[in-house]
Structure 1
Amino acid sequence: MTLPSSARVVIIGGGVIGCSVAYHLAKQGWTDIVLLERKQLTSGTTWHAAGLIAQLRATKNMTKLAKYSQELYGDLEAETGVATGFKRCGSITVALTDERLEEISRQAAMARSFGVEAEPISPSEVKARYEHLNIEGVTGGVYLPLDGQGDPANIAHALAKGARQNGALVKEGVLVTAIQKEDRRVIGVSWKDKTGETGQIACEHVVNCGGMWGHGIGRMAGVNVPLHSCEHFYIVTEAIPGLTQMPVLRVPDECAYYKEDAGKMLLGAFEPVSKPWTLDIPKEFEFDQLPEDFDHFEPILENAVTRMPMLAEAGIHTFFNGPESFTPDDAYHLGLAPELDNFWVAAGFNSIGIQSAGGAGQALAQWMDAGEKPFDLGDVDISRMQPFQGNRTYLFERSKETLGLLYADHFPYLQKKTARGVRRTPFHKHLLDRGAVMGELAGWERANWFARADQEPAYEYSWQRQNFFDNVREEHMAVRQNVGMYDMSSFGKIRVQGRAAEAFLNFVGGGDYSVPVGKIVYTQFLNARAGIEADVTVTRLGEFDYLVVTPAATRLADQTWMERIARARDFDVVITDMTAAEGVLAVMGPRSRELLQAVSPNDFSNETNPFGTAQEIEIGMGLARAHRVTYVGELGWEIYVSADMAGHVFETLAEAGEQFGMRLCGMHMMDTCRVEKGFRHFGHDITAEDHVMEAGLGFAVKKDKPDYMGRDAIRAKQDEGLQMRLLQFKLTDPEPLLYHAEPILRDGEIVSYLTSGAYGHFEGAAMGMGYVPCQGETLADVLASSYEIDVAGTRVKAEVSSKPFYDPTSERVKV
């Protein structure tokens, strides 16, 4: 076989994703692109995909990528001569319960704020658009007229042809057998073709587009790519007389979707408990099916025959079972692997690979070409995955659930049920014994709320007030009016040490870290556009020793980002994850000083321990470090204690807290309090594409520093003025609830959406934050307008403020 001895990039995998990456890199002007497919293009999962192509996703950027895919597929045929079968037939999602109707109504409102056409429709209107549907029990629906469907294999072949037309080399029948590395870089791949010939290609980049083989390909390079294949079932009927083009239909309450295709009907399922297949896929696998399991599919079919009566008369032409790969959180993997500096991943597309491939390929190509993300991709960035999530047993257990989550009720605060209990803080048993109801984030078990003695310690999900609403209100008011304690151990703790530590932090962060030992700096790490890469506190523990505290979910991403800059800029620092070494208890509220004084001989007064400082303390019979900071907007301390003494310190505080009426609190309380205080949440209110000044965090940037990441973008924004402002909103009606992505209306017109929301129990209403366009306007102009929030299609008036509604001058944290 004729293959080059070197290439700029080797793409492994010839499904729709690999073909899209090759196509978009070629469009970016890259040359020496080689795509290697072990068998034939599309022969893994792409060939048997259902080909549903929707626009709306859960976030604005994911929706933008899905919309781009549609536009691309509509144009590919003219460019390449390969018919993609793409047609905008529309889609309908129907609800069979009031809760599901609330969900899809909120989705329709969100769609409007993202620029996606979506129309709520009544049961009779559903019937008018889908005559074959039995609407008994249907409570409503949503119609998206621009959704569509396409031919998955032909879309991939069109992308491959487009890549070839722009100079890429696409080779089938070539298996990658090994990946060579030096230090943190891939330097080449070894291959073997179907005749037995072998060879090597030296390369500057590798992209893992291996689909369900992606986990194993990652292992070759020492890269963690957590995904697992599951069996995915659908049937195709015999031809049905008179059946014409219909919208794609989804009935998530019955776990089913329907697609008309060439006069036949395809019925597919995303059942609640799925069947994991294997990580050890047979080497000969190519265009293969898995054994039929009609018993597994039968409950779906029984409901479908009732819902679509014509299926009772139609013969089954095909019963299909094929594998697809699913990730632990149902979001695909995209981006630069944390373990290496030139190994990229685009895999694990959770049965939405066709609708995602165009946008994902474009975004990855732009990222590879520019060396930085084109916009915020935190939802899918491979660096969000924790190392343990590559564990085979974990993946097998979690994959039983993730397939079905696509059509599950997406209730607020929904917790995954499988593969739980992997990461536990030192206080885990203490909290469970006292009624903690655990949630999971990045594998960490975290107390989200505390059940009363007469209450089942479990979630009862709803779009309305859930069973923990009053519990969280009581926890919230304890922190506002008395004292509460909660576990913050899961937050990332990264030590930055070395003679260059101060200079390094002054370069990557917007703050000033040339501070005395014991000083805490609230700050942001910035990229070149002054977007926010991380929202952290930095504590100087010693002359050459800093502690960076970051959100639990982004610890690996933040550490990797810092390490790459340190290497690139030759900063002599050591960066170490210390998260599991210390437990952290947050003691917050007006009486927190009294409680700490009762268990420690140290001085917690403003004179000795002012806000924004840390001190070593004795506590009970142990030792700890007290950081005077807050994420709830009250007087309080975060108590850092080594894991060996954590249990003792908890017991000491819990026992002493009884005389103060101290209440144990959870993460939901922390969120409701921070929303009242206007504190930003990373990943929602602030991201890599949000300018730090437009986020209202310019106060944390020391703009006169001589050199730091984002300096030029800061200066440019000072000159040009703000384009957006992050504002806080409070509903005037105390009943509706806010979560995120609800449209913001200014003077009757949709201008944006809420980046986050929660109920402000002290303020007595739901609250949220969101960016509002403000180019050429003063702050007074922006605040003078009338604002409403669209809650599931109902407009609710809202107060607006640029300052926190609660304690706007922060007097309470500094008393």
Structure 2
Amino acid sequence: MEQKKIVIIGAGIVGCSTAYYLNKMGHGDITVIEQGPLFETGGSTSHAPGLVFQISFSKVLTTLASQTVEAFKELSSDGHPSFYSVGSLELAETAERFEDLKRKAGIGKSWGMEAFVLSPEACARKFPSINTDNLYGGLYVPSDGIAKPLRAVDIMANFAKSCGTKFYGHTEVTGIQVVDGQVKTVETSIGRFETDLIICCAGFWGPRIGEMVGVTIPLQPMAHQYVLTNDLPELASETEEVTSPLIRHQDSSMYYRQVFNGIGIGSYQHRPLPVEVSEIIKKGEAKEMPSVKPFTHEDFEKPWQDALELIPSLTKAGIKKGINGIFSFTPDGMPLLGESQKVRGFWVAEAIWVTHSAGVGKAMAEWIVNGAPTLDLELCDINRFDTYAQSPGYYKKRSIENYEKVYDIHHPYMPPETSRNVRVSPYYLRQKSLGAYFNEKSGWEQPQWYESNERLVETYETSILRRKGWAAEFWSPIIEAEQLHTCRYAGMYDATASKKRLEISGEGALDFLQKMTTNNVDIPIGHVTSTLMLHELAGIKDEIRVVRTATSTFFVLCTGAVEASWIKKQLSVSSKIVIQDRTAGMCGLGVIGDKAIQIMHSLDPDNFAISKWEIGRAQELYIGNVSVLAVYDYYVGTAGWEFFTTCDQGLQLWDMLLEAGRQHQLIALGDRALEGLRIESFVTRSGKDFWSEHDPFQVGLGYMVDFNKPTFIGKEALIQRKARESRLKLTMLLLEDPSMVVMGYEPVLNEDKVAGFITSAGYVYSLGKGIVYALLSPEVVREGNTLSIEYFGKRYKVNIMNPSEVIVRS
């Protein structure tokens, strides 16, 4: 990458980490601007207690945390470490929590982290002060510990300075100049800085910086209670800051860490305490730093009693000091990273805890220098939020909800409670009348199953797999009945939320899409093709469906807002190509199943004569009075149509299709059964079974790559990756126990060695067994090899599917 002038706003741990790694990658001409002093800036870095619990049910967050630990270990000087590897204990006071810790230990193996489930007695040996009377046990992670971010910042900044990076403290950003959609200058209290690229690392002040360029940074600052106790007798002889493991007691929403001879205690138990950015003062305007609000003693009364119960010796110590420290929450609990689609050159690294800080800095540097990070950051991308989620009414409520539930046991299908009904399809009232159970999908209310189909449960009773335990949470046997019925007859599903709908047209549209995709998209008008988009390092950005509707007009279905924003970013400023996001104004309905052809023929014999349709065809036509784009292809492995029309005509289309299908036993089909059909049909899904860390050949999608094309993004890198021996292979496995089904992300073991992890999991009714897709080490993928899955601490045997059993349709 050519050297650009970079201005980083914020000299906390994230800003300094990003500068540090940019410098390590050979990038100079960096200026870091900080409104507070260098380097105890007054932001969250300054008061953070530094606890690093690495294992998360998110692979990306676990990896960022692990990278942060490794970085901090290296950033030590004069016997003063930036990281204390003292380990961590998560305690369980309920049977449900203890089971969740077993699950978490398994997830740790999936992500390459070592963790051990301990008895109450073993927990007490790690931290003798705790009362084990009410404990079921705990989870011990030996590589966790305490970070000292200010020490790390000092070392990073000194290295950056030696590379020519300039730091300016007590310098307030007062404005940002944007010309033709590109950042140009940063205006400050000490003068103007010209720049090609800005990285906003301003922490909870980030939204204020975003406003200067018209970019919403959807985070909510929250005050969080933390106290320091007086000395404890059992710690009286300690001379090190911390030698005992961290403790997280999620059943009481609290955590603990040693601070020399006392204990630091944090609580999420109290009422939400949101803070408006406009209320946060500058450094020096009050006794405490800006990131600290006055301690509210009444909110700590119950947490203190819980602390005394867990660590009885605290009764003799008492509280020395308490703060309400401010840090950031987002609507989905993930950081905000990357370049904004709205303004070129405006990058953000926001809503990041110390736990993930150095990992984020490394990833940001890779992204800026190489065009893509080595770690997939799609779930963190700032562009993942459509306009609906940029409303303060949406993201503030959802962020507060995330704060309230931060220590809850989270199920992957647990629906959010706040900021609902912000996007509804034209079919919403019909779906409600059929008893739809809704969850949110890209902001849309998306039916998971329909209570009106309960009658089918009795019909398929002898075939349905009854789920148990964790797999049965937020589940209904109706899901299985819908899946079975659609295979035998037909199902109609709401496709509105499933994809972003883009119309790409104008002079050069074909050449643009040829450059963007791996497959040949120079297809006849009325044809459909599936293809991949790769980033510069040949990782898969998305699998998309392209419909050619005219010579220079294409209808593109991509996964979501991140992928759509990436497509738009590839357009040059002078391009004559027009990209219209048609998502909000269009709705979609799919009809699939064995009777789909008969249903459509009975509705319109002329337009839906079978002789007129082949797989991979599309037509613009009328169904009754409704103008639709009809796309005939394989969906979740089953042939059928998806119909797209404008929202004003969607309800009429729903009624016509459902009425026409009544004689053929067509049902309204929920999202969960649709996912079950996908997995049963051996169809992989972008973002679920593969993502931007993977190339097409690792995940069985090499057939979508046409190396005869002159060029496409990532082509040269893909040739190099193809020549190298792959470290992963997407493989399908069948569980030996026909009554067993798992949920996803569990580790796969070859004897006692971790060989990979599960991506998707479901049930193949045609075979009568549970199926999983897993990313595995290639050396274990051999016919006849028996592996096992660890699920809640127990092992279940799985067999590698014979390739002849698998028919993959995309």
TM-score, length of structure 1 as denominator length: 0.91
CA contact (8 A) 2:370 2:536 kept: no
Comparing 499-508 with 592-601, greater Cα deviation is found at: 592-601
Q: Deviations over 1:713-769 (max 9, x none)?
A: 444455556553211122111344322221122355322111232344554433221
In 1, Cα distance between equivalents of 2:133 and 2:624: 64
| Counterpart amino acid of residue 114 in structure 2 | E
Match of 2:567 in 1: 562
Q: Could you say which residue in structure 2 is the equivalent of 1:772?
A: 776
Do 1:7 and 1:201's aligned partners in 2 also have CA atoms closer than 8 Å? no
Contact 2:270 2:299 in 1 (8 A): no
Secondary structure of 2:659's aligned partner? helix
Query: Is 1:496 paired with 2:488?
Result: no
Q: Give the equivalent residue in structure 1 for 2:539.
A: 531
Matches within 5 A, 1:14-163: 14-40=11-37, 41=39, 42-78=41-77, 83-163=80-160
Alignment of 1:162-561 (within 5 A): 162-192=159-189, 198-243=190-235, 245-271=243-269, 274-284=272-282, 287-288=289-290, 289-349=292-352, 353-451=353-451, 463-466=470-473, 468-490=475-497, 491-551=499-559, 554=560, 556-561=561-566
Q: Is the alpha carbon distance of 1:19 and 1:801 closer, same or farther for their aligned partners in structure 2, counting shifts above 3 Å?
A: same
Q: Report the TM-score when normalising by structure 2.
A: 0.92
Contact 2:500/2:564 (<8 A) preserved: no
- Contact in 1 for aligned 2:220/2:400 (Cα 8 Å): no
CA contact (8 A) 1:612 1:627 kept: yes
Q: SS of the residue aligned with 2:233? A: coil
Contact 2:527–2:616 (8 Å) recurs in 1: yes
Alpha carbons of 1:716 and 1:49: their partners in 2 closer, same or farther (altered >3 Å)? closer
Cα deviation, residue 334, structure 1? 1.6
User: Counterparts of 1:804 and 1:18 in 2: how far apart (Å)?
Assistant: 52
Bigger mean CA offset, 43-52 vs 741-750? 741-750
User: Is the Cα–Cα contact under 8 Å of residues 784 and 800 in structure 2 kept in the other structure?
Assistant: no
Cα distance in structure 1, aligned partners of 2:382 and 2:468: 29
CA contact (8 A) 2:597 2:610 kept: no
The Cα of 1:793 is off from its aligned counterpart by 2.4
Give the deviation of 1:502 after TM superposition. Answer: 1.6
Cα distance 1:239–1:761, how it changes in 2: closer, same or farther (>3 A)? Answer: farther
Tell me, in whole angstroms, the C-alpha distance in 1 between the residues paired with 2:668 and 2:531: 28
Q: How many residues align structurally?
A: 783
Distance in 1, matches of 2:451 and 2:112, equals 41
Mapped partners of 1:625, 1:97: distance in 2? 53
Instruction: Supply the distance in 2 between the matched residues of 1:404 and 1:88 (Cα, whole angstroms).
Output: 29
Which residue of structure 1 aligns with residue 641 of structure 2? 637
Further displaced range: 173-182 or 668-677: 668-677
Whether contact under 8 Å (1:736, 1:791) holds in the other structure is: no
Alignment partners' CA distance in 1, 2:97 and 2:63: 25
Q: Which amino acid aligns with 2:506?
A: G
Cα distance in 2, alignment partners of residues 181 and 609 from structure 1: 50
Instruction: Write the distance in 2 (CA, Å) between the matches of 1:472 and 1:273.
Output: 37
3-state SS of 2:333 partner: coil
Is contact 2:73–2:83 with CA below 8 Å preserved after alignment? yes
Asked if 2 retains the 8 angstrom alpha-carbon contact of 1:686 and 1:695, the reply is: yes
Q: Render the CA deviation track for 1:165-201: whole Å, top value 9, x for unaligned.
A: 3332222110000001112311110001xxxxx4101
Distance 1:529 1:86 in 2: 32
Change (3 A) 1:300 1:558: same
Q: Give the C-alpha shift of residue 321 in structure 1.
A: 0.6
Deviation of residue 384 (structure 1)? Answer: 1.6
Distance 1:263 1:764, change over 3 A: farther
Find the aligned partners of 2:229 and 2:148 in 1 and give their Cα distance: 18
What is the distance in 1 between the residues matched to 2:4 and 2:523? 48
In structure 2, the partner of 1:726 is: 730
Q: Say if 1:138 and 1:453 are closer, same or farther in 2 by CA, change over 3 A.
A: farther
User: 1:677 touches 1:804 (CA, 8 Å); kept in 2?
Assistant: no
Q: Whole-Å Cα distance in 2 between the matches of residues 414 and 306 of structure 1?
A: 31
Q: For residues 271 and 451 of structure 2, what CA distance do their matches in structure 1 show?
A: 28
Matched with 2:652 is 648
Which secondary structure does the structure 1 equivalent of 2:676 belong to? helix
Q: C-alpha displacement at 1:559, in angstroms?
A: 2.4
Whether the aligned pair in 1 keeps the contact of 2:6 and 2:30 (CA below 8 Å) is yes
Residue 687 of structure 1 corresponds to 691
Shift of 1:462: 6.0
Contiguous gaps of at least 5 residues in structure 2:
456-466
Q: 1:762 to 1:321 in 2, by over 3 A?
A: farther
SS of equivalent to 2:524: coil
Q: CA deviation at 1:359?
A: 0.8
* Matched-pair contact (CA < 8 Å) for 1:676–1:763: no
Q: Secondary structure at the match of 1:105?
A: helix
When residues 324 and 528 of structure 1 are mapped into structure 2, their CA distance, relative to the original with a 3 A threshold, is closer
Residues 384 and 202 (structure 1 numbering): CA distance in 2 closer, same or farther, change over 3 Å? same
Distance in 1 between residues matched to 2:536 and 2:149, nearest whole Å: 38
CA 761–271 in structure 1, closer or farther in 2 if over 3 Å, else same: farther
- Cα distance in 2, alignment partners of residues 90 and 719 from structure 1: 41
Query: What's the Cα RMSD here?
Result: 2.5
- Alignment-derived partner of residue 591 in structure 1: 595
Q: Distance in 1 between matches of 2:372 and 2:509?
A: 24
Secondary structure, counterpart of 2:226 in structure 1: strand
Summarize the Cα distance change of 1:651–1:93 in structure 2 as closer, same or farther, 3 Å threshold: same
Alpha-carbon distance in 1 for matches of 2:483, 2:804 = 17
Structure 1, residues 287-319: CA drift from partner, whole Å, max 9, x if none?
143233333333333333222222333211112
Is the partner of 1:275 in helix, strand or coil? Answer: coil
- The structural deviation recorded for 1:633 is 1.8
Q: Which segment drifts farther, 201-210 or 280-289?
A: 280-289
How far apart, in 1, do the equivalents of 2:609 and 2:697 lie? Answer: 33
Give distance in 2, aligned partners of 1:135 and 1:528: 53
Per the TM alignment, residue 90 of structure 1 is displaced from its structure 2 partner at its CA by: 0.5
Contact preservation (8 Å) 2:76, 2:151: no
| Offset at residue 134 of structure 1 (A) | 2.2
- Tell me the distance in 2 between the aligned counterparts of 1:139 and 1:73: 33
Structure 1 418/273 Cα, relative in aligned 2: closer, same or farther at 3 Å?
A: farther
Query: 3-state DSSP class of the match of 2:612?
Result: coil
Cα pair distance change 1:270/1:158, threshold 3 Å: farther
Identity %: 28
- Going from structure 1 to structure 2, the CA distance change for 1:504 and 1:124 (only over 3 Å counts) comes to same
> How far apart, CA to CA, are the structure 1 residues paired with 2:722 and 2:802?
18
Deviation of the 1:503 alpha carbon? 1.8
Give the counterpart letter for 1:658 in structure 2. Answer: R
Residue in structure 1 matched with residue 462 of structure 2 by the alignment: none
Partner of 1:3: none
1:50-109 per-residue CA deviation (whole Å, 9 max, x = no partner) reads 10023323344433321221122122123xx59355211100112223332232212211
Residue identity in the other structure for 2:320: H
Q: After the TM superposition, which residues 638-717 of structure 1 pair with which residues of structure 2 at under 5 Å, given as runs?
A: 638-716=642-720
Cα distance, 1:452–1:239 mapped onto 2, change above 3 Å: farther
The answer to whether the 8 A contact 1:672-1:758 is kept is: yes
